[in-house]
């Protein structure tokens, strides 16, 4: 490192607040600090600003209907179609030749779709789905990797009013079956396979295995051929080749179906406290308005930008900020199929340079990996097209924030650290990049119109600097409407904790811990339920535990998240072998790994499985997860005197450190 670099690092190290660069502010979409007050004074009418970004077939009568809270409704009486808003209207405005989707395949091939072309593809596939018998309100499951046919299928579903349920391609066969069963989904779009670091991965066998676990009849399965000759496979009677079907429908015109603002746009399953994943329901009007609004205000997206979110569409971030928000604004959305280190560790920067990306949105876990790889991978690329950077998915540590700011943004791009959830539909807590000072490590204030607070167990706001829990004390358009077919769980998961039902005061509880500072900036500390966050992906410890205890020879297990340098958190399993299995730990370990991969997928792969004759328990018999987390993270262990069996702690800790 040169002296100059060293000085720069030292200066950055100490700096705790950063002002948005002048050059950015001059052109930003939102620059008037008065917006916070304006939204507060005009709430909920302020949300018309979001609805105004869309084209409505029928104007709405009411912005917010709160008569049956917390089953809130937004823009009631309004009608619209999401695919029309993401495609047709841009074409009608004469922007059909602008690029909608720029797809980068892992092996270096690219596919570019203008708005005209994307609309054609979507209409052809919408006609195909209809022909197969898909009707309005039928849930179509999309179990697909990052191929262009995924956003095409989502928009085709939206066009005919069939909600989609995207299942992340990295999830297991079991996970597919659980989700199709829960949503009674009779149609599936999948893929023969995909490439990872140059290898062809078989996806269709996993799909078929999953289909065996579906309890109802599946009418049709459409299979995208991504691998060509790299994978031989046969299609069953109800399985069709995507290209062949679509070829029969080429040039179709499919009128977008007018959907009620409150009609379901999609379902997205996410992990919760219990073993069963939750089907989060998002609607057409509120969700689309909210993602368009936040894309404009926070990501500063404009129609002529090239914008890239490196998430996978299988998660909410990809839904909201690769597909719906950016396309509603008519921008160019980049989509990358593969991994950041293939063929080399500068792949992402090569894509930024080549496409002259203006705005880049990624996860802290990726940034920590780039940091570890070193800045030489960024230095030989021209990243000067970048104007704004964003992060999402987990807390970002100030060191990673500063690395991102300096090495990717060249100290000229604001960073938005955006806190939100599958359930919130879009961003909730973040700075507005044209207005607010940035404080590395702190997401920022709640967005205008969002009443997020940090409270204690009684719901009282905590003093600056004290830890508490995040709550959201008024509704917002992008919020989930319920959990699919489970209104009861919707209430108990999100509203019970802090609401006063008798007074009809409803408070949303996202189950995150946080601190707030004197300026109202919120620092998210992480989940306070049994959910862990591995590389920005939400995993339920209970789901993993139930997979592990399903292994013959394992009596009991506890799964916790331990700190991990790159992944943020990693999965640690503590397991007790049954009598007679004590000397077969290697076998049990292998089977437990296998069980986790089978029931969830490779993202949940345990970092370590630790066998122990006992788990540390409180006197009332509760497993001390906090202690297990500390052991996994290598933290100093606090007071263990409340334990029924304090001696097991040293045994376990010895095992973890000696590995």
| Contacting residues toward ligand 6R9, per CB under 6 A | 270, 315-317, 392-395, 417-422, 443, 510, 512, 524, 526-527, 533, 538
Q: Which is nearer to ligand 6R9, 207 or 430 (CB)?
A: 430
Strand order in the sheet with 512-516: 452-455, 467-472, 512-516, 522-527
Q: How many CB atoms lie within 10 A of CB 277?
A: 21
Q: Which is nearer to ligand 6R9, 345 or 515 (CB)?
A: 515
Place of tokens 């950077």: 389
CA angle 430, 264, 175 (to 5 degrees): 80
Handedness of CA 229, 194, 334, 283 (dihedral sign): positive
Closest separation in Å from C-beta 396 to ligand 6R9: 7
Closest separation in Å from C-beta 404 to ligand 6R9: 13
User: Per the omega criterion (within 30 degrees of 0), is the bond before 343 cis?
Assistant: yes
Closest separation in Å from C-beta 511 to ligand 6R9: 7
Closest separation in Å from C-beta 321 to ligand 6R9: 9
Q: Which of these, 517, 377, 529, lies nearest to 444 by C-alpha position?
A: 517
Between the alpha carbon of residue 247 and those of residues 49, 255, 562, the distances in Å are 41, 19, 50
Instruction: Note whether 448 and 46 are within 8 A (CB).
Output: yes
Q: Which is nearer to ligand 6R9, 309 or 653 (CB)?
A: 309
Pairing of strands 99-104, 110-114: antiparallel
Q: Which is nearer to ligand 6R9, 270 or 436 (CB)?
A: 270
Closest separation in Å from C-beta 643 to ligand 6R9: 28
Instruction: Note whether 424 and 510 are within 8 A (CB).
Output: yes
Q: Which is nearer to ligand 6R9, 178 or 418 (CB)?
A: 418
Q: Which is nearer to ligand 6R9, 140 or 316 (CB)?
A: 316
Residues 6 or more apart whose Cβ sits within 8 Å of residue 247: none
Radius of gyration of the chain (CA): 24
Which alpha helices (DSSP H) does 550-608 contain, by range? 585-599
Closest separation in Å from C-beta 654 to ligand 6R9: 31
Angle, helices 625-633/647-658, rounded to nearest 10 degrees: 30
Q: Which is nearer to ligand 6R9, 74 or 315 (CB)?
A: 315
Longest dimension (CA), the chain: 73
Task: Give the C-alpha separation, 114 to 235, whole Å.
Answer: 32
Q: Which is nearer to ligand 6R9, 233 or 489 (CB)?
A: 489
Closest separation in Å from C-beta 192 to ligand 6R9: 27
Place of tokens 């030292």: 10
Closest separation in Å from C-beta 416 to ligand 6R9: 9
CA angle 165, 169, 172 (to 5 degrees): 95
Q: Which is nearer to ligand 6R9, 193 or 433 (CB)?
A: 433
Q: Which is nearer to ligand 6R9, 81 or 294 (CB)?
A: 294
Closest separation in Å from C-beta 357 to ligand 6R9: 21
3-state SS class at 631: helix
Q: What is the distance, to the nearest Å, from the Cα of residue 270 to the centroid of all Cα atoms in its chain?
A: 9
Q: Which is nearer to ligand 6R9, 222 or 571 (CB)?
A: 571
Closest separation in Å from C-beta 565 to ligand 6R9: 17
Q: Which is nearer to ligand 6R9, 182 or 422 (CB)?
A: 422
Task: Give the C-alpha separation, 120 to 83, whole Å.
Answer: 12
Q: Which is nearer to ligand 6R9, 96 or 562 (CB)?
A: 562
Instruction: Note whether 310 and 318 are within 8 A (CB).
Output: no
Task: Give the C-alpha separation, 81 to 57, whole Å.
Answer: 8
Closest separation in Å from C-beta 536 to ligand 6R9: 6
Task: Give the C-alpha separation, 439 to 4, whole Å.
Answer: 24
Closest separation in Å from C-beta 229 to ligand 6R9: 36
Q: Which is nearer to ligand 6R9, 525 or 549 (CB)?
A: 525
Closest separation in Å from C-beta 538 to ligand 6R9: 4
Between the alpha carbon of residue 633 and those of residues 122, 306, 564, 655, the distances in Å are 47, 40, 7, 13
Between the alpha carbon of residue 262 and those of residues 37, 49, 153, 390, the distances in Å are 28, 18, 21, 30
Tell me the Ramachandran region of residue 338: left when phi exceeds 0, alpha when psi lies from -120 to 50, beta otherwise.
beta
Instruction: Note whether 20 and 434 are within 8 A (CB).
Output: yes
Closest separation in Å from C-beta 438 to ligand 6R9: 13
């Amino acid at each position: 490192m040169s002296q100059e670099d060293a000085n720069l690092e030292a200066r950055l190290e100490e700096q705790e607040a950063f002002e948005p660069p002048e050059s950015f502010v001059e052109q930003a979409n939102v620059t008037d600090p008065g917006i916070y007050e304006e939204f507060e004074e005009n709430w909920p009418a302020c949300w018309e600003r979001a609805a105004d970004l869309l084209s409505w077939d029928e104007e709405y009568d009411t912005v917010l209907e709160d008569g049956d809270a917390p089953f809130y409704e937004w823009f009631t009486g309004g009608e619209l179609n999401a695919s029309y808003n993401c495609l047709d209207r841009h074409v009608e405005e004469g922007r059909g030749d602008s690029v909608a989707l720029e797809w980068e395949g892992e092996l270096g091939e690219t596919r570019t779709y203008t708005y005209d072309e994307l609309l054609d593809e979507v209409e052809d596939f919408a006609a195909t789905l209809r022909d197969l018998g898909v009707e309005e309100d039928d849930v179509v499951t999309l179990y697909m990797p990052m191929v262009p046919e995924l956003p095409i299928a989502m928009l085709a579903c939206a066009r005919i009013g069939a909600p989609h349920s995207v299942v992340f391609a990295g999830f297991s066969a079991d996970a597919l079956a659980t989700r199709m069963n829960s949503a009674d989904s009779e149609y599936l779009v999948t893929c023969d396979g995909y490439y990872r670091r140059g290898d062809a991965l078989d996806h269709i066998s996993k799909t078929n295995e999953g289909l065996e676990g579906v309890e109802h009849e599946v009418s049709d399965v459409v299979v995208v051929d991504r691998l060509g000759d790299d994978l031989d496979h046969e299609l069953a009677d109800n399985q069709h080749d995507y290209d062949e079907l679509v070829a029969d429908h080429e040039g179709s015109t499919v009128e977008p179906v007018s959907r009620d603002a409150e009609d379901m746009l999609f379902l997205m399953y996410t992990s919760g406290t219990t073993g069963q994943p939750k089907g989060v329901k998002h609607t057409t009007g509120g969700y689309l308005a909210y993602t368009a609004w936040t894309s404009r205000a926070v990501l500063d997206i404009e129609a002529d930008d090239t914008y890239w979110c490196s998430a996978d569409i299988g998660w909410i971030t990809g839904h909201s900020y690769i597909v719906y928000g950016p396309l509603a604004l008519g921008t160019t959305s980049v989509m990358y199929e593969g991994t950041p280190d293939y063929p080399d560790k500068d792949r992402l920067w090569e894509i930024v340079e080549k496409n002259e990306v203006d705005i880049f949105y990624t996860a802290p876990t990726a940034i920590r990996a780039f940091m570890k790889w070193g800045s030489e991978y960024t230095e030989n690329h021209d990243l000067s097209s970048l104007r704004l950077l964003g992060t999402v998915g987990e807390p970002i540590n100030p060191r990673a924030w500063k690395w991102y700011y300096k090495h990717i943004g060249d100290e000229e791009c604001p960073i938005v650290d955006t806190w939100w959830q599958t359930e919130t539909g879009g961003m909730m807590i973040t700075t507005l990049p044209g207005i607010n000072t940035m404080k590395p490590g702190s997401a920022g204030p709640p967005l205008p119109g969002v009443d997020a607070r940090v409270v204690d167990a009684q719901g009282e706001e905590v003093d600056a600097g004290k830890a508490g829990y995040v709550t959201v004390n008024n509704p917002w358009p992008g919020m989930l409407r319920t959990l699919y077919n489970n209104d009861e769980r919707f209430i108990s998961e999100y509203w019970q904790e802090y609401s006063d039902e008798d007074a009809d005061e409803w408070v949303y509880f996202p189950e995150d811990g946080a601190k707030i500072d004197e300026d109202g900036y919120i620092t998210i500390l992480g989940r306070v339920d049994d959910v862990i966050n591995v590389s920005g992906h939400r995993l339920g410890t209970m789901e993993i535990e139930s997979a592990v205890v399903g292994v013959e020879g394992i009596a009991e297990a506890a799964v916790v998240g331990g700190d991990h340098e790159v992944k943020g958190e990693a999965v640690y399993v503590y397991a007790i072998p049954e009598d007679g299995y004590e000397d077969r730990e290697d076998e049990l370990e292998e089977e437990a790994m296998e069980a986790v991969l089978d029931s969830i997928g490779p993202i949940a792969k345990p970092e370590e499985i630790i066998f122990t004759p006992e788990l540390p328990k409180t006197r009332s018999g509760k497993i001390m997860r906090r202690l297990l987390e500390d052991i996994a993270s290598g933290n100093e262990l606090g007071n263990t005197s409340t334990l029924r069996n304090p001696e097991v702690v040293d045994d376990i800790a010895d095992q973890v450190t000696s590995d």
